[in-house]
Amino acid sequence: MLRWVSDKSLSRYFKEIMRYPLLSRTEEQEIAHRAKLGDVICKINGKGCSSLRTVRGQVRRAGAGAKIPLVIRRGDEEIEKKIEIPVLSPQKGEESDSGILGMRLKPVSELDRHEIDILGIKKGILVEEIIPDSPADRADILDYNRKARDKLILHNLRWVVSIAKQYQRRGLPLAELINEGNLGLIQAVSKFDVNRKTRLTTYSNWWIRYYIVSALASRHLIKMPIKLRTLAKRVRDTYGILSQRLERAPSIDELATELDVEPEEVSCAFDCGVAELSIDAMPFEDSKVTFGEVLKDTSASSPAEISAKEQIERNVRSSLNEVLADRELYVVSRHFGVPLPADRKFPIRKITEIFGRTEEEISKILYRACRRVLSRMCHNLGENELKRFARFSKADARINCDIIKNRLPDPRKELLKVTRKLVKNVSSALNEELEEIEIEDREVFRLYWGLNPTYGELNLRELGDLLGVSREAARQIKQRAIRKLKKHLRPQAFDNFFREAV
């Protein structure tokens, strides 16, 4: 879009667009036909495809959560894309409504001969439509040809200039008018149907004028939708008529009934009529304060204060790892609610140093916690839902079922493998399950898998029981950690995080 204001820049723009003359009817039809034909899927998962059954079969075989490689033909080049199958994929009855992964597809063999000649390919699946925010949309698969559409736009830029010049000296500079007209041209090209036997210049004329007139009508600091501005004008006109008829000011409900709209829409239309005021203006003529001083929120922190606080938090968290031992770090984190870094995981050897237990004891607690979490999630969600959300393969689902029913003699390796997938894919749902198991199992599970707790802090008695020491010993560990932090941190940073400790 144009962002220039000087006449020299506009002259340079005019010289640039002169390189793209208007197209003849035949050229325009050929390019418009090509612009409507999107990408063609030539291969899916390394295999050629020419029917919708092949695409559906490959999608179902890959399963939820998998990424399918595609080879698509876009113009004269072939591009490799990967499209991800969503976890909540549509059922068989829903595929016809939502398409396949958000794509409306059609075999190339079902097109007419002219369209096949334009595509230059006889086998494949044509993408006719892309549903917004679908897997195909996120994979950047197109239902139109970008090069052909850009060519149509470039060769009609001079048409926009000729229309924009008719609206000069009405409140907007020529550069702004051309800018708005170009937006209308883009909209017209995206909706243009060559089968209606109409020239693009004729069809785009309405869209270009529509965008220019809309810009002229909304020369305010805040641009409002045209529908809302139109309703505001109708409300103003109807307000005067009803006032004369009722000999009083009409209510919002009466206006809504007269206009056949909702009362909420009439209220919004009234708000649109308020004029913009500068924040540096004064409320009254003899006032010495501005609107900015009156409306200032004194309770909110300034951006500088927020930035300084975030910097202090980063320094404190990095200092916790550098200064404190593992046991001291755990006590400070759980007692004061300071979260550990997201990527900080404790192997079994480190957990033994924190809790003062043997590796065998910690391993038993970890395996017991993993089994309980798996069992609770399977009971609450069901086997099929757990398999879908955790993205279990068939082997993982079978192992999970055997673990829960105690069919495996030594399930330790399999248990950790299944739990690793569970933590990776549904970590946000684990906190509710962890709150229902014993505190010892919960803390070991959380430390081993690097999960920060969402529940409350622990008191010294609970920490002492977990560490296998008395409450007084836990307090001494806390005080020792505080002394170290006082030496390493600045007083302001220490007070912000550990004010209760001193």
Q: 3-state SS of 335-357?
A: HHCCCCCCCCCCCHHHHHHHHCC
Q: What is the pLDDT of residue 68?
A: 79
Residue at a domain's end among 296, 319, 349: 296
Q: What is the pLDDT of residue 492?
A: 67
Residue at a domain's end among 197, 217, 237: 217
Give me the domain span that covers residue 11: 7-23+151-217
Query: Do 457 and 478 belong to one domain?
Result: yes
Q: CA 33 to CA 111: how far, in whole Å?
A: 12
In this structure, are residues 367 and 412 in contact, taking their beta carbons and an 8 Å threshold? Answer: yes
Query: Is residue 28 in some structural domain?
Result: no
Instruction: Please identify which residue in the block is written with the tokens 């009803």.
Output: 242
In 25-145, alpha helices (H)? 25-36, 52-62, 95-98, 113-119, 135-138
Query: Do 155 and 139 belong to one domain?
Result: no
Query: Do 77 and 121 belong to one domain?
Result: yes
In this structure, are residues 391 and 65 in contact, taking their beta carbons and an 8 Å threshold? Answer: yes
Residue at a domain's end among 296, 321, 336: 296
Please report, for the domain that includes residue 93, its CATH number. Answer: 2.30.42
Query: Do 231 and 193 belong to one domain?
Result: no
Query: Is residue 29 in some structural domain?
Result: no
In this structure, are residues 125 and 101 in contact, taking their beta carbons and an 8 Å threshold? Answer: no
**Phi-psi group of 342: left, alpha or beta (phi > 0 → left; psi -120 to 50 → alpha; rest → beta):** alpha
Query: Do 382 and 446 belong to one domain?
Result: yes
Query: Do 370 and 477 belong to one domain?
Result: yes
Query: Do 13 and 107 belong to one domain?
Result: no
Task: Please return the burial class of 289, using the count of CB atoms within 10 Å of its CB with bins 0-12, 13-18 and 19+.
Answer: exposed
Query: Is residue 349 in some structural domain?
Result: yes
Burial string for 193-202 (b: 16+ CB within 10 Å, else e) reads ebeeeebbbe
Query: Is residue 326 in some structural domain?
Result: yes
Task: Please return the burial class of 483, using the count of CB atoms within 10 Å of its CB with bins 0-12, 13-18 and 19+.
Answer: exposed
Query: Is residue 182 in some structural domain?
Result: yes
For 177-180, the CB contacts below 8 A with 24+ separation are: 177/212, 177/215, 178/2, 178/13, 179/1, 179/2, 180/211, 180/212, 180/214, 180/215
Q: What is the pLDDT of residue 94?
A: 43
Query: Is residue 33 in some structural domain?
Result: no
Burial string for 26-50 (b: 16+ CB within 10 Å, else e) reads eebbbbbbbbbbbbbbbbbbeeebb
Query: Is residue 53 in some structural domain?
Result: yes
Query: Do 434 and 351 belong to one domain?
Result: yes
Instruction: Please identify which residue in the block is written with the tokens 């937006």.
Output: 183
Query: Do 13 and 80 belong to one domain?
Result: no
Please report, for the domain that includes residue 185, its CATH number. Answer: 1.20.120.1810
* Amino acid at site 467: L
**Between the CA atoms of 283, 289, 290 and 292, what dihedral angle is there, to the nearest 10 degrees?**
-130
Nearest residue to 445 (alpha-carbon basis) of 425, 475, 469, 415: 415
Which is it for the CA torsion 212, 213, 218, 224, positive or negative?
negative
Polymer length of the chain: 502
Query: Do 110 and 234 belong to one domain?
Result: no
SS3 assignment, position 147: helix
Query: Do 414 and 484 belong to one domain?
Result: yes
Query: Do 82 and 167 belong to one domain?
Result: no
Q: What is the pLDDT of residue 96?
A: 46
Structural domain count of the chain: 4
- Phi, psi for 52 (deg, rounded to 5): -70, -30
Please report, for the domain that includes residue 253, its CATH number. Answer: 1.10.10.10
Query: Is residue 375 in some structural domain?
Result: yes
In this structure, are residues 146 and 190 in contact, taking their beta carbons and an 8 Å threshold? Answer: no
Q: What is the pLDDT of residue 186?
A: 92
Q: CA 146 to CA 39: how far, in whole Å?
A: 10
- Phi, psi for 172 (deg, rounded to 5): -125, 145
Q: CA 232 to CA 22: how far, in whole Å?
A: 40
Give me the residues of the chain with pLDDT under 50, please. 1-5, 89, 92-98, 500-502
